[in-house]
Amino acid sequence: LKIREEIGVKQGIANALANMGSIYFYLSDYSKALEYQLRCLKICKETGNILVMAQTLGNIGNIYENLSDSDCVKLSIAPAAKYPKALEYQFQALKIEEALEAKQNIAITLGNIGNIYREQKKYSLALEYSGKGQQLAMELGNLDNEKSIQRILYATFKAIGNNAKALEHYERYIL
């Protein structure tokens, strides 16, 4: 990051910031992850790199989705606001991805949206978005994304008490 900042390659800086944000996300340091992703988003807006912008918006949505109550306090965000913020960023990402016809990204974002709705116990919306994401992932042959969405569908069907459908999606997830 430091080298790219010194030579002033904005897209390289944005990529490094996105990577740093992802590292902090996986370390569960969401305030740092958000800081880096927001810096990346700013550069993407300046440079007009809309595909990376969409990915970054999705990353920011994932950060908001995963915030604990104590993380919300640190970031001065009401815990009740984390899911609406997560959805706001995911839908911004989806709009860009649809305009670009970036189908792999669309499938991922639909799954992310479905998962947020599942966490909010809005199961019909969870099934709608996850189902669309699963269908698209299957059409594209994206097994990793399909497995991820199968997990979301399993958890959603389990939560609503449809054990037969839950088992079906669980088996698809683990196989």
Q: What's the pLDDT tens digit per position in 109-147?
A: 999 999 999 999 999 999 999 999 999 999 999 999 999
Give the pLDDT of residue 25: 98
Angle between helices 103-119 and 143-159 (to 10 degrees): 20
**pLDDT bucket at 40, cuts 50 / 70 / 90:** very high
Query: Is 34 exposed, middle or buried (CB count within 10 Å of its CB: 0-12, 13-18, 19+)?
Result: buried
Share above pLDDT 70 across residues of the chain, in percent, rounded to a whole number:
95
pLDDT bucket at 11, cuts 50 / 70 / 90:
confident
Residue at 95: amino acid letter: K
- Judge whether residue 163 has pLDDT over 80: yes
- Considering the chain, what is the average pLDDT of its residues? 94
pLDDT, position 10 = 85
Q: Contact, 65 vs 119, CB < 8 A?
A: yes
Q: What one-character DSSP code corresponds to residue 89?
A: H
Q: Which residue has the tokens 């991805």?
A: 97
- The H-assigned helical ranges of the chain are 2-7, 10-26, 30-47, 50-66, 69-74, 82-100, 103-119, 123-140, 143-159, 163-174
Instruction: Write down the pLDDT at residue 175.
Output: 79
- Whole-model pTM? 0.92
The pLDDT of residue 4 is: 63
**Has residue 42 got a pLDDT over 70?**
yes
DSSP for residue 81:
G
Asked whether the beta carbons of 100 and 50 are under 8 A apart, the reply is yes
